[in-house]
Structure 1
Amino acid sequence: MQGALEVIEKNKFLGKPRNHLLYLLEKGKLAYLANDYTLSNSLFNEADLFIESNKKAIGNQILGVLLNPQKETYQGEDFEKVAIHYYKALNYMFLNKYDEAIVEAKRISLQLQKINESYPPEKKNRYNDDAFAHILQGLLYEASGDINNAFIAYRNAVDLYLKNQGTYIGVTIPHQLCQDMLHTANVMGFIDVVERYEKLLNTSYIPKKITKGGEAILFWENGLAPYKDETYYTFTILPGNDIGFLTIINEDLSLNLPLPIPTGGNNRSDFSDLDIFNVAFPKYVSRPSLYNSAEAQIDSTYYPFQLTQNYEEIAFKTLKDRTLREIGKVALRLGTKKVSEYVVKNQNSDLGALLGVFNALTEGADTRNWQSLPNKIFYSRIPLKTGENKLTVSLKSNQQVSSTIEINIQGTGDILFEKITTPEISTPNPY
């Protein structure tokens, strides 16, 4: 991790002022992985302030409109802005600052609400709430002894899943969440609530066995989130004597469609008649995780990990929603290029055609993104005995690859939090 932190400082791309947010996000995540939670939160706080201040250089904005949006100051995808608060919450949690951690977990929902309020009614994100944020709040409240607020947080998460037919943004309602909600309701004496949600969830409350050693909440961050690439739609008008061709090309769709078009039959075919429209859109490319399942073992008892956050699904859905909102911006960039081309064509037709080729070549999408985010997050609740506990986490892959991680935890009677990370992917990252 120390070597990775040093590489970040030497990275010229991340060192550019317009990419400063990416520098803070990537370095903050590395500090988190290196267990330097104070440094990590310092970097994420700076990233948070950077976003709030909405710093944008006017010159960069103009370049983004005229040439390539990657020339603009990077402001982060909506879900990346939200993920900052998740890591700040975990940092505070591992620093045993539960009150601060709860504040950050709440800010996840508030940030999503604030983001969506800024969009027109018909163009909002489908990712408009975060079930994992409510679960995290519940775990933190429970760890701090506030069972009533823990119940409310768990219920909010359950209700979000029920509102979406049991699945939300690629995650099916975790069985552990259902039991945690029913347990806290039972502790509070809300028997009618227990009975109501048993019917709604088609499950039965299983009374929890209280152990003197407490519990461990183990988070598993698996794989890497998708990375951004770009896809092009190229429209080329080739001149001809009587019949020319409009060719539409897109490699992702294996599209190469030549359409004959009349040219007026003037028996002329000049270079200046060449016309090219090239439109670029960002896209995400999935990075399949090496491991796809895991379970924790303690004293011959196994506890499976349950999916609680799916950043791959969130990334694809939020990008699709953003693309629909920004069609007009892409059209403005294309229109600006074509106007400049036609202005030059009026002075010199061949030079105008060359400018059209240049504009097509410089067209590009913004392919920047926070690449060290995990693909998915799982969690497991494990009862502990008083004193030393040895946990063995078994990781399994479809490629017949398996691995184990040993964790030693001291059972103190409290709820303790631990994390494991497995960023390995099953195919090489082309970048």
Structure 2
Amino acid sequence: MNLSFRAGNYTAALEKFDKVDLKEESRNRMLYYLEKGMIQDRLGKRESSRNLWMKADKVGDELFTTSLSKEAATYLYNEGAQAYPGEDYEKVAIHTMLAHSFLGEGNLDSARVEAARINTKLNEINGFYKDNKNKYRDDAYARYLSAMIYEANGELDSAIVDYRNALKIYEGDYQETFGVSPPNELVAALYRLFMQRDRKDEAKALAKKYNKTELSSPSEYASIIVVHEVGVINEKRAEDFVVPWGGSVLRFSFPVIPKKSPSRDATGFRVNEGTFEKGELAQNFNTIAYANLEDRRVRMIVKSAARIIIKNQLTQKAEKELGAAGLIAATVYGAVTETADTRQWTTLPAAVYVTRKIVKPGEYSIEITNNGRVRTIKKIRLKKGDVQIIRDA
């Protein structure tokens, strides 16, 4: 399924998906909704895909709030033995994809609602953890997307608020932890809106801070924005290590996602066969996933240690009561059950890039390139002040 999906053969991907052991009624129910939702989305079945993602969101909420008493089995069995609740970043990414889906249909109001839910979901998740909270606690791209939608709707003051909030988050955690710097076009958009709202001192301070002497605010212009979903997220894998514990050595197995950056092949667009406008990285799901799993690793250690101690006690008891045969059986049991859960949403994009160009009002032909491949040619007509947002998926 994944090979067909990566190759862009979504019909074949759906056929293969329906044959794999990932059923709606199983412990992989959430993954079923996530994966099938993405395939349906790529096939252009937007409403169907959104319904599946909304089901995934509901399942994730239900499993996230499950009481610890119901998870007692995970002290003897690994996480793979229970229903997959979704990683924290996956639960948040559902709303990113829903926002993009609505955006692709020109439904800006619904897209903005989903963009707002991204940070609401993050707050809910981090509020659950008393200690070792996630570094992924504010989503800069959600603010950036919301700001662009506000601007497209002509709500300029609200757009300014979200552009500023996005800039603040990019300057902090996003740049330091996720390797995503403030997009130049975000700074330029904020500058233009400051000038339009006669907030010249703030515009001047912004230009000085970023050393952007070339920033301008033309009197008559329109904007073309393309939001590109690029690649697929890196594959989750198991990583093993050992820790001395109480005179013995315990083996731990954790899921990790490589930090490798998304492909750097050309992504952007060309207007009327002119200069290629290169997209800027706005969201990196690979680095977010990496950090998210590292944070979870700390929280998992206590849980895993308790689970492994119980299994070691069972092994010792088996050896004492049943001799060599019991030791072998218990050791095999431990090897089978103490394995990292590597289930994941495999069709989630690796990253989101945003390309923006300021143009004069008029008619335009747009050639969109995603990861080195020309995928879309669109024709649009723009009036003064129009902000046209196009989804490239």
Is TM > 0.5 for Structure 1 vs Structure 2?
yes
Amino acid corresponding to residue 379 of structure 2 in structure 1: I
Q: Cα distance 1:210–1:7, how it changes in 2: closer, same or farther (>3 A)? A: farther
- CA–CA distance in 2 between the matches of 1:339 and 1:189? 72
Which residue pairs with 1:87 in the alignment? 97
Amino acid corresponding to residue 378 of structure 2 in structure 1: N
Which residue pairs with 1:420 in the alignment? 392
Per-residue deviation, 1:166: 5.3
Question: Could you tell me whether the CA contact under 8 Å between 1:63 and 1:69 is conserved in 2?
Answer: no
| SS of residue matched to 2:193 | helix
Which residue pairs with 1:224 in the alignment? 232
Which residue pairs with 2:366 in the alignment? 391
Alignment map for 1:173-212 (pairs within 5 Å) = 173-204=182-213, 206-209=215-218
Which residue pairs with 1:320 in the alignment? 294
Which residue pairs with 1:293 in the alignment? 266
Amino acid corresponding to residue 81 of structure 2 in structure 1: K
Question: Could you tell me whether the CA contact under 8 Å between 1:8 and 1:14 is conserved in 2?
Answer: no
Question: Could you tell me whether the CA contact under 8 Å between 1:232 and 1:279 is conserved in 2?
Answer: yes
Question: Could you tell me whether the CA contact under 8 Å between 2:243 and 2:251 is conserved in 1?
Answer: yes
Q: Quick check: 1:153 aligned with 2:162?
A: yes
Which residue pairs with 2:254 in the alignment? 281
Which residue pairs with 1:361 in the alignment? 335
Per-residue deviation, 1:352: 3.5
Task: Using structure 1 for the length normalisation, give the TM-score.
Answer: 0.79
Amino acid corresponding to residue 306 of structure 1 in structure 2: E
- CA–CA distance in 2 between the matches of 1:58 and 1:193? 50
Q: Cα distance 1:82–1:7, how it changes in 2: closer, same or farther (>3 A)? A: same
Alignment map for 1:18-417 (pairs within 5 Å) = 18-54=27-63, 61-121=71-131, 123-164=132-173, 167=176, 169-204=178-213, 206-209=215-218, 214-233=222-241, 277-285=250-258, 291-299=264-272, 300-362=274-336, 363-383=338-358, 388-394=363-369, 403-413=373-383, 414-417=386-389
- CA–CA distance in 2 between the matches of 1:304 and 1:280? 41
Q: Deviations over 1:369-426 (max 9, x none)?
A: 1111111211111345666532234567xxxxx54334122224332232334xxxxx
Question: Could you tell me whether the CA contact under 8 Å between 2:50 and 2:98 is conserved in 1?
Answer: yes
- CA–CA distance in 2 between the matches of 1:163 and 1:336? 42
| SS of residue matched to 1:322 | helix
Question: Could you tell me whether the CA contact under 8 Å between 1:60 and 1:73 is conserved in 2?
Answer: no
Larger Rg: 1
User: Which sits farther off after the overlay, 197-206 or 317-326?
Assistant: 197-206
Per-residue deviation, 1:323: 0.3
- CA–CA distance in 2 between the matches of 1:164 and 1:191? 28
Per-residue deviation, 1:133: 0.5
Q: Cα distance 1:177–1:343, how it changes in 2: closer, same or farther (>3 A)? A: same
- CA–CA distance in 1 between the matches of 2:156 and 2:308? 56
Q: Cα distance 1:395–1:22, how it changes in 2: closer, same or farther (>3 A)? A: closer
- CA–CA distance in 1 between the matches of 2:243 and 2:268? 52
Q: Deviations over 1:187-206 (max 9, x none)?
A: 12212221222233332362
Q: Deviations over 1:273-316 (max 9, x none)?
A: xx985431212246775553334222323311101001111111
| SS of residue matched to 2:236 | strand
- CA–CA distance in 2 between the matches of 1:78 and 1:352? 39
- CA–CA distance in 2 between the matches of 1:58 and 1:124? 18
| SS of residue matched to 1:170 | coil
Q: Cα distance 1:197–1:73, how it changes in 2: closer, same or farther (>3 A)? A: same
Q: Cα distance 1:294–1:198, how it changes in 2: closer, same or farther (>3 A)? A: same
Query: Which of 5, 20, 28 in structure 2 is aligned with 1:11?
Result: 20
Q: Cα distance 1:276–1:155, how it changes in 2: closer, same or farther (>3 A)? A: closer
Q: How many residues of Structure 1 are paired with residues of Structure 2 in the alignment? A: 377
| SS of residue matched to 2:257 | strand
Question: Could you tell me whether the CA contact under 8 Å between 2:78 and 2:339 is conserved in 1?
Answer: yes
Question: Could you tell me whether the CA contact under 8 Å between 1:225 and 1:286 is conserved in 2?
Answer: no
- CA–CA distance in 1 between the matches of 2:174 and 2:124? 25
- CA–CA distance in 2 between the matches of 1:67 and 1:165? 35
- CA–CA distance in 2 between the matches of 1:181 and 1:296? 22
Amino acid corresponding to residue 231 of structure 2 in structure 1: G
User: Which sits farther off after the overlay, 149-158 or 353-362?
Assistant: 353-362
- CA–CA distance in 2 between the matches of 1:111 and 1:320? 19
Q: Structure 2: give runs of 5+ residues left out of the alignment.
A: 1-9
Amino acid corresponding to residue 335 of structure 1 in structure 2: I
- CA–CA distance in 2 between the matches of 1:116 and 1:322? 12
| SS of residue matched to 1:11 | coil
| SS of residue matched to 1:293 | coil
- CA–CA distance in 1 between the matches of 2:269 and 2:223? 13
- CA–CA distance in 2 between the matches of 1:135 and 1:25? 24
- CA–CA distance in 1 between the matches of 2:327 and 2:98? 52
User: Which sits farther off after the overlay, 386-395 or 12-21?
Assistant: 386-395
Question: Could you tell me whether the CA contact under 8 Å between 1:230 and 1:282 is conserved in 2?
Answer: yes
Q: Structure 1: give runs of 5+ residues left out of the alignment.
A: 237-260, 262-274, 397-401, 422-431
Q: Cα distance 1:192–1:59, how it changes in 2: closer, same or farther (>3 A)? A: closer
Question: Could you tell me whether the CA contact under 8 Å between 1:278 and 1:360 is conserved in 2?
Answer: no
Higher percent of residues as strand: 1
| SS of residue matched to 2:276 | strand
